Amino acid sequence: MSLEAIRYNNGTLCILNQLLLPTISEFEEIKSVEEGWDAIKKMKVRGAPAIAIVGCLSLVVELQKCNPFEKVKQIAAFIIDKLQYLKTARPTAVNMAEAAGRLTNIVNALLKDKNTTADSMKLRIIQEAEDMLKKDVIDNRNIGKYGAEHICKNFLEPSSTARILTHCNTGSLATAGYGTALGVIRALNESSRLDHVYCTETRPYNQGSRLTSYELVYEKIPATLITDSMVSFAMKQKKITAVVVGADRVVANGDTANKIGTYQLAIAAKYHNIPFYVAAPSTSCDLSLTCGDGIVIEERPHTEVTFFKDQQIAALGKH
């Protein structure tokens, strides 16, 4: 059974606080949109699909608990305002913006329907947000299936197995379940076509060492954790079959924004003639941008480099 990062049941939302992993597994209840925004911003929950799901479900929690709205326009304004706010937590990951846009379009369409009541609008938005959980797992399993099949068909002999290199965390902890890039790895393992996984530690926040290795150990998938600076040497020495990563945003020409370190990984893969896959759902695609130059890249605080948890690991001053 895969790990679980999001627990939701009938208006109650809890997330696995990923800042505490791998030493502590603790779920934290999200009781409002503000708490959802804070959990996303502080990376208690992360991964583009999970960000959107937690953001929208935090809105559901608030809709379930707030006093009834008398007018349709009041609840419409409330929903749209909260969705716009949630978009600001992690701007590079497009899934929250995609979900906010889709739900906003539904609200605007309902406003044009004279039969819409405040209660019916509330129930429709709740249903749409809750459906995101189920759809994400279905999408991820399909990504895993198609990705594994493509690697086996194009880069493996019938009786051989794959060695996959991956970056950051793209598994059950980054999604509603199964994962994207890690979903491809899971599918290869389930079909007995996986030899070994090499996962990078993914500095500065160590999503690879804290989270991906945690998932791989939990599911007993054969894997080795390597430092980010080892990837080129690993490609040369370990006969890597393919590199598979996730994505925060994919634009119209195929340019992709992902965790820092992905760019040099792609360059090294090209140099060593290793196929490089981006595994992502359609909700990570942003066709409004023609190329990657238009992607807003989030600037994280310097403490993520100069501190590890509460421990200072670098000289402080102007860097």
d(CA 229, CA 307): 20
Task: With beta carbons less than 8 A apart as the criterion, state whether 79 and 116 touch.
Answer: no
Q: What are the backbone angles phi and psi of residue 308, rounded to the nearest 5°? A: -120, 110
248 is catalytic: yes
Q: Would you give the DSSP letter of residue 185?
A: H
Sign of CA dihedral 255, 256, 260, 262: negative
Chain centroid to Cα 216, Å, comes to 17
What are the structure tokens assigned to 121, written together? Answer: 């609008």
d(CA 210, CA 82): 31
Please identify which of the residues 38, 248, 255, 286 carries the catalytic annotation: 248
For the chain, the straight-line distance linking the first and the last C-alpha, in angstroms and rounded, comes to 44
Helix (H) or strand (E) holding 122: helix 118-155
Q: Three-state SS for 257?
A: strand
Neighbours of 243 (CB within 10 A): 25
- Active-site positions read 248
